[in-house]
Structures are given as C-alpha cells and as structure tokens.
Amino acid sequence: MPTPRGKVEIAQDQCKGCAVCVDACPPKVLKLTTVLNVQGYHPVQYLGDGCTGCGICFYACPEPGAITVYKWQDEESKKQKAA
Amino acid sequence: MFNVIQQKPETFYDLFERKDGDPHVTHYCPGCGHGVAHKMIAECLEDLGIQDRTILVSPVGCSVFAYYYFDVGNVQAPHGRAPAVATGIKRSRPEAIVLSYQGDGDLAAIGGNEILHAANRGENITVFFINNAIYGMTGGQMAPTSLIGQKTTTSPFGRSLKNEGYPMRVCELLAALEAPVYLERTAIFDNKNNMRTRKAIRKAIQNQIDGLGFSLVEILSPCPTIWKMTPQESRQWVRDQMMPYFKLGIFRDKTTTQTPSAVAASETPAGLEAGSAQAASPQGASKNEPSSPPPTNSLEELKPRTDVSLDEVPAILGIRATERPGETHGQAVYGGNYNERSKFYEAASATPQGSGEEFFPRDVPEQYRDPQIKIAGFGGQGVLLLGEALAESGMLSGYRVSWLPSYGPEMRGGTAHCHVRLSQNEIGSPLVSRPTILLSLNKPSLEKFLPEAVPGALVIYNSSLIDQPPSRTDIEALPLSATEIAEKIGSPKITNMVVVGALIAKTRLLTKESVFAAIEALVKNPKLVEMNRRAVEAGMQAVMEKEEAVKV
C-alpha cells in the first residue's frame, strides 16, 4: 500500500454542512453524509483515502475548528529538514 | 507519521463561552464569509506572534460578536465608529496592534465619515472591510454597496440608479486620499482568491507592525442566507455579480516607499508613487471612474413606467387586500393565491357573528385551553415562523392572539424563541414567562426553558436533535422526531411545520384548515406552501399514530 500523503479530520458536530470544502477539495475526497449532527446539519466526511494534505479545505471552511489537516512526513525527511 | 499542518488557530478561544448554545461553533450561517475571514486573521495573529498585543474592535452587524471568538483584547464599538475607536486605542497604546473589523453597512453607510477621516489621517491601524452588498444581521436591507438592480427588503424592485445611486466603491474612494498606505480588494469564493485574501490580510497587519500607516483590505464575501442562495451559488454570485463592479486588485501600495512612523501621513506626492509596482495589476484600479455606468444591462428595466393605472399599484407594491370575517370579501386579492384563505374566511364567517357563538374549536381538552406557548430553537429552524403560523391561524379561528419574537443578531446558529398566546379572552401581556406549552426544537433551548414550564405543561421536543428526554417528571413530554420527518418530506427547513402539526393534533387548539390558511398567507412560494402542508399533516400523523399505539 502506498504511503498516504495526508489526511483530514472533520469534527462532525462542528460541521454545518455548507459543503464548500467538498467543492474546494482538489482530489475530491470529501462528501456530505446523510446523518444529522447535533446542530441538525449533514456533516461532511473524509472518504478515508486520497487526501494530499494541501490544506485548501481548511481555508474554504468557515468554522474555526471543524477541519484539521495532517500531512505525512516520514522520519528521514524530518531529520533532513531539521539538519 | 502524520503532522498537523492546519488546525484551529490558537488565537481563537478553545471554547466560545460567551456565546449562547454550542460553544464549539460560531454563530455564523453555513457558508458565511465571516468565518473564513476570521480564520485567516486568527491564523495570521498566531503566526506573527502578536496575539497578546492585539486589540480587535468589533463593529455592529453580524460580526458584532467577533469578541466571542478572538482571544485578544476586544472592544465593541457603536455602529460605524470602529475606526474612531481604533484611533483612540492606537494613539493611547501605540505598541498595540489595533484591528478594526467592519461590514459594509457599518463601514460604508453609518460609518462613512469615520473611515474617511481615519484613512485621511493615516492612522496606523488595520481595517478589514467585509463587503457582502447587503445588511445581513438586520435581515437584508439595501447597503451602500448593493448592486444596481439588486433586490433587497428596502429595494424590492431592485436598486435603482435614480433613487439610490451607484454602489459605493470604498477602495477607490479611499485611494483618492494621500495618506493610506495599503488598499486592496480581494474576494472569498474560490481557492485562489481565498489565498489572495489570506496574503492581503497578512500584509495589512504586517504594515501596522512596521508602523507604516493606514491599511485596509476590502473582502467581497458571500452571504448565502440573506441572498437566499446555497453556499455554492453565493460564491458564484460573488464572482459573477460583485466582481465585475467591484474590481479586485491593489489600489494603493506604498509599503516599500513609506517611512515607518506611527501617525504621520505620507508626504510623497501621488504622482511619485513609483513603488507601487503592483498598482498596474488591477484591471483599471484608478481608471474606475465613479461616473462610469455600472456593468449591468438593467438600465432599460429601470426606466420609470408611466402607464401604471391606480388598480395596479397594490399588485406592484405587493399589497394584498385584507379580508376579515363579516366584512365584504371575494374581491380582488392581490399578490398570490389566497384562495385557501378566502375559502376559510367564507366558511368561518358563515358562523353567526356577534351572537356570542365563537368559531374556535370547542373540543380542546381542559388543560390545553388558553395556552401560553413558548417556542424555542436555534436561528434558522423557523422558530419565529412557527409562532407566526400559530398566531395567524389562531386569529383566523377567532382567538385573540399575540406573537412576541425574541432573537439575537444571529441569522442562524444563534438562539431564537418566541412567545405566542391564543386566548378566548383579552390578552393582558404578550410575554410568556411561565409557558403551559413549550415547543423545543433543539437541546440548548430545552435545557434553558424547561425550568420555566408550569407543572403539567405540555412539552413537545424535537427528538431528532435532543437525545435525552426532559429531566422533569411533572410535565407531559411528547417526543417528536421532527427534523427526520421533515427530511423525509423534502427539507429540514420545514421542521417547524411538523411541530405545528403535532401540536394541533395533540391539543386540538386549531384546525388543520386554519393552519393551512395561515400557511397560505405567510409562505409566498406556492411550491413551499404545498411542502409545508405536507409537513403539518405528517406531524399530525406522527402524534395520532402514537396515541393509537398507546390505546392498543
């Protein structure tokens, strides 16, 4: 299995389901769910695969804490960077 | 391993404790541009390490509650006065980074004078100007920046050149002054422009840190709720409607030539601004003469009509003839299909009037008579319309009614509640402080108002969003999965009408016909009328099924 480049976490109860991130996401790995969250909206979910960690969804999303973006960094490149 | 690269900036409070309701989320509507701008500012403050010396001046408008979210020094200024307040703060605390965050109604209308003079004095402050071409918080009135032809509640036929003049281009206006150091207009709609906005925000704040002088970033921002669009459509509207008139670009950039000094304005003559190399990039930044005609083809439509007959006037103004039981009716009814309502009046007025015989339903169980109703939920759930529907329907049924709304400045996401009374006698006060019927559409509102309910009160709560039944045992609790039922019919927006249905089925306070007639009067779009009716029926059905089940 190839190493994932990134991943995105969406706080389900903070998402208001505006779906702006769904449109903004370049690799199209976000989708609206059909479940209701505590606020009464359909939150967006990460499909679980294909995120590049570009962070674009973060700037499209109007909620401060709804989206957290992670980028994969292996130990070696981290060491190289530090050096 | 995974490393976090983007997360909630630390400049935001961990929990928004000042806010009502859920402390994790903002009060802004889904898809609002304010949230995006807030996030970019917060991120910048964190990255520049200036959180502890930043003072944010909140305006009046939807963003009045910016101080709920930013963990910085906060001042909330009177309407339009943010630049003046920021001036005072900056002069008394020159080491502080003073940000003024304003909307278009605040900055361009009532605060037009303040911004003009703060800019002209070259105050070393940073202004973020969120332009969405309308008044959001107050419900969609025309702003100085509303476009020609744009329909608002105060320009229902579209903004007309003759009556209201041209939309105001604030960046161009301020670019006529000598003092401002940095003026840029950006937009929030797609990835590229979002990132430009982010860059402009950072530059405007950096300018203040460097002591260069007055910086303003105008951000064209979507307002899906008030524009009555989806978040996606609203972003297209920014691009297709706003951007042709409000050209993006840098209108002033003296960042490289300006000598750092806190208050003094530039002495460089306008013609010598060689440093503004980027000034060429906007499409005709300085060429946008205010007298150029707006890029709309609506001028033709704006020609005054002279062939209007007197009879047409009510229709043009959207006024409909009101009819009351016992009065003449069946005459022209303007502005929509009110057949249902007139039919109801006909049926109703057939009951002998003045004979002491009223026509409100008489089989109402004792405990539900003369109810004091409180309806609560979050803004956007249709709480106020629910109350109006009950009051209107009650009025049609011969009750004396009152409807008293109470809501914060939020459009959605905030809390809203209203008080309704349906009485067979005169009403002393429209205020309901001890409800006999509580209709609760979300969890915070149930927690808030349950203690107020009288013993024995009927509490109908939206079990789709409230996972725990009411804690009190001395009340009659009726769970109703209203949002789920509404979704099945077609939209969570009709949750409110499902609740109406449940209420009338449970209490028999109002007849289905009177509610339908009220809906007809309150809901303008015929398609939605039908959907609302189905919602009422589904709500009734849900309660009746439950009662059947109990009997069996």
Q: SS3 letters for B480-531?
A: ECHHHHHHHHCCHHHHHHHHHHHHHHHHCCCCHHHHHHHHHHHCCCHHHHHH
* Alpha-carbon gap: B479 to the closest alpha carbon of chain A (Å): 16
Domain boundaries, chain B: 33-280, 359-551
**Does B195 contact A17 at a Cβ distance shorter than 8 Å?**
no
Cα–Cα dist B103/B184, whole Å: 16
B11 contacts B71 by C-beta, under 8 angstroms: yes
Q: Does A55 contact B at CB distance below 8 Å?
A: yes
DSSP one-letter code for B106: I
- Greater confidence, B316 or A27? A27
Contact assignment for A20 to B231 by CB distance below 8 Å: yes
Distances, alpha carbon B313 to alpha carbons B34, B319, B320, B521, in Å: 39, 8, 10, 20
When comparing pLDDT for B501 and B346, which is higher?
Answer: B501
Q: Could you tell me which residues come within 8 angstroms of residue B108 by beta carbon, excluding any fewer than 6 positions away?
A: B115, B129, B131, B143, B144, B145, B168, B170
- Domains of chain A with bracketed CATH: 6-72 (3.30.70.20)
Superfamily of domain B33-280: Thiamin diphosphate (ThDP)-binding fold, Pyr/PP domains (3.40.50.970)
**Contacts of B306 by beta carbon, 8 Å cutoff, 6+ apart:** none
Q: Is A20 on the interface with B (CB under 8 A)?
A: yes
Q: What digits encode the pLDDT tens for the residues A51-68?
A: 999 999 999 999 999 999
Q: What is the mean pLDDT of chain B?
A: 85
Q: What is the pLDDT of residue A74?
A: 74
- Rounded Cα–Cα distance for residues B545 and B543 (Å): 5
Residues of A in contact with B36 (CB under 8 A): 59-62
Tell how far CA B145 is from the center of its chain: 17
- Give the pLDDT score at B76: 96
When CB atoms are compared, the residue of B2, B4, B30 closest to A17 is B30
In this predicted structure, what is the pLDDT of residue B209?
95
Task: Identify the pLDDT of residue B381.
Answer: 84
Q: How far is A36 from chain B (nearest CA, A)?
A: 8
Contacts of B235 in chain A (CB under 8 A): 20
Residues B40 and B117: their CA atoms lie apart, in Å, by 27
Q: Tell me the pLDDT band of B269, cut-offs 50, 70 and 90.
A: very low
Distance CA(B233)–CA(B297), nearest Å, equals 21
Residue B127 backbone phi and psi in degrees, to 5: -115, 130
Whether pLDDT at B385 is above 80: yes
pLDDT at residue A38, as a whole number: 86
> Residue B445: its pLDDT value, please?
87
Q: What are the start-end ranges of the E strands in B174-257?
A: 182-187, 215-220, 249-253
> Within B238-281, where are the H helices?
243-245
Backbone φ/ψ region at B248: left (φ over 0), alpha (ψ -120 to 50), beta? beta
- The pLDDT-based confidence of A77 (bands split at 50, 70, 90) is low
pLDDT tens digits along B65-95: 999 999 999 999 999 999 999 999 999 999 9
Are β-strands A67-72 and B73-76 bridged in parallel, bridged antiparallel, or unpaired? unpaired
The pLDDT score that the predictor gives to residue B346 is: 61
Q: Cβ A70–B4 below 8 Å, yes or no?
A: yes
Over residues B275-298, mean pLDDT: 45
Distance from CA of B81 to the nearest CA of A (A): 26
Taking CB atoms within 8 Å and a gap of at least 24, the contacts of B238-241 are B238/B187, B238/B188, B238/B189, B239/B187, B239/B189, B239/B190, B241/B147, B241/B150
Q: Provide the pLDDT confidence category of residue B304 given band limits of 50, 70 and 90.
A: low
DSSP-derived secondary structure letter, B305:
P
Question: Token pair for residue A77?
Answer: 């490149």
Question: Please, how many CA atoms are within 13 Å of residue A70, restricted to the half-sphere of its CB?
Answer: 16
Any B CB within 8 A of A18 CB: yes
Residue type, B367: Q
* Choice among A73-77, B235-239, B488-492 with the minimum mean pLDDT: A73-77
Is the CB of A68 less than 8 angstroms away from the CB of B4?
A: yes
Give the Cα separation of B252 and B342 in Å (integer): 61
Q: Which pLDDT value is given to residue B84? A: 97
The nearest alpha carbon in chain B to A34 belongs to: B487
Give the amino acid at B39.
K
Share of residues in chain B with pLDDT > 90 (%): 65
Query: Quick one: pLDDT band at residue B294, thresholds 50, 70, 90?
Result: very low
Residue B341 has pLDDT above 80, yes or no: no
Among chain B residues, the shortest Cα distance to A26 is held by: B191
Number of neighbouring beta carbons within 10 Å of residue B389: 28
Evaluate if residue B272 carries a pLDDT over 50.
Answer: no
CA angle B229, B235, B236 (to 5 degrees): 90
Six-digit token pair at B537? 């029926």
User: By mean pLDDT, which of B43-47, B146-150, B546-550 is the weakest?
Assistant: B546-550
**Can you tell me whether residue B423 is helix, strand or coil?**
strand
Using a CB-CB cut-off of 8 Å, the residues of chain B touching A21 are: none
Q: What is the mean pLDDT of residues A6-31?
A: 95
Range B375-403 average pLDDT: 90
B interface test, pick of A44, A59, A68, A70 with most B CB neighbours within 10 Å: A59
Q: Is A13 on the interface with B (CB under 8 A)?
A: yes
Contact A75 B28 (CB under 8 A): no
Tell me if A13 and B24 make a contact (CB, 8 A cut-off): yes
Report ipTM for this prediction: 0.92
Q: List the one residue out of B534, B536, B511, B535 whose CA is nearest residue B347.
A: B511
Q: Which amino acid is at B487?
A: E
Identify the pLDDT of residue B326: 43
Kindly determine whether residue A63 and residue B35, on different chains, have CB atoms separated by under 8 Å: yes
- The CA–CA distances, whole Å, from B236 to A62, B191, B240 equal 17, 13, 6
Residue type, B4: V
Residue B314 pLDDT level (bands cut at 50, 70, 90):
confident
pLDDT (0 to 100) of residue B191: 94
pLDDT score for B298: 55
- pLDDT over 90 at B331, yes or no: no
Contacts of A39 in chain B (CB under 8 A): 22, 25, 378, 413, 442, 465
Q: What is the pLDDT of residue A7?
A: 94
CB contact under 8 A, A24 and B190: yes
* Residues of B with Cβ-Cβ distance to A6 under 8 angstroms: 2, 5
Among the ranges given (A23-32, B193-202, B318-327, B358-367), the one the predictor scored with the smallest mean pLDDT: B318-327
Q: A20 vs B232: CB contact, 8 Å cut-off?
A: yes
Q: Which residue of chain B has the CA closest to A4?
A: B2
Measured in angstroms, the CA of A46 and the nearest CA of chain B are apart by: 15
Helix (H) or strand (E) holding B234: helix B231-237
What is the reported pLDDT for B214?
A: 97
How far is residue B415's CA from residue B447's CA, in Å, rounded to a whole number?
12
Please tell me the predicted confidence (pLDDT) of residue B364: 85
- Chain A residues within 8 A of B5 when measuring between CB atoms: 6, 53, 55, 69-71
B537 vs B482, B515, B542, CA distance in Å?
A: 12, 10, 9
pLDDT band at B348 (very low <50, low <70, confident <90, very high): low
pLDDT value of residue B22:
83
| CA separation for the pair A62, B140 (Å, rounded) | 21
CB-neighbour burial class of residue B549 (10 A; exposed 0-12, middle 13-18, buried 19+)? exposed
How close is the nearest chain B Cα to the Cα of A45, in Å?
16
Q: Could you tell me which chain B residue has the CA closest to the CA of A63?
A: B35
CA distance B280 to B159: 31
CA distance B329 to B338: 12
Q: What is the number of other CB atoms lying within 10 angstroms of the CB of residue B536? A: 27
The mean per-residue pLDDT over the stretch B277-300 comes to: 46
Buried residues in A17-55 as b, exposed as e (16+ CB within 10 A):
bbbbbbbbbeeebbebeeebbbbbbbbbbbeeeebbbbb
Give me the phi and psi of B97, to 5 degrees please. -95, 115
Q: Please tell me the CATH code under which domain B359-551 is placed.
A: 3.40.920.10
Tokens of B45: 């403050």
pLDDT (mean) for B258-265: 60
Helices (H), B350-481: 383-396, 443-449
**Residue B265 pLDDT greater than 90, yes or no:** no
pLDDT in tens, B470-518: 999 999 999 999 999 999 998 888 999 999 999 999 999 999 999 999 9
For residue B96, pLDDT over 90 is answered with yes
Residue B326 CA to residue B351 CA, distance in Å, equals 9
Is B403 exposed, middle or buried (CB count within 10 Å of its CB: 0-12, 13-18, 19+)? Answer: buried
Residues in chain B within 8 Å Cβ distance of A73:
1-3
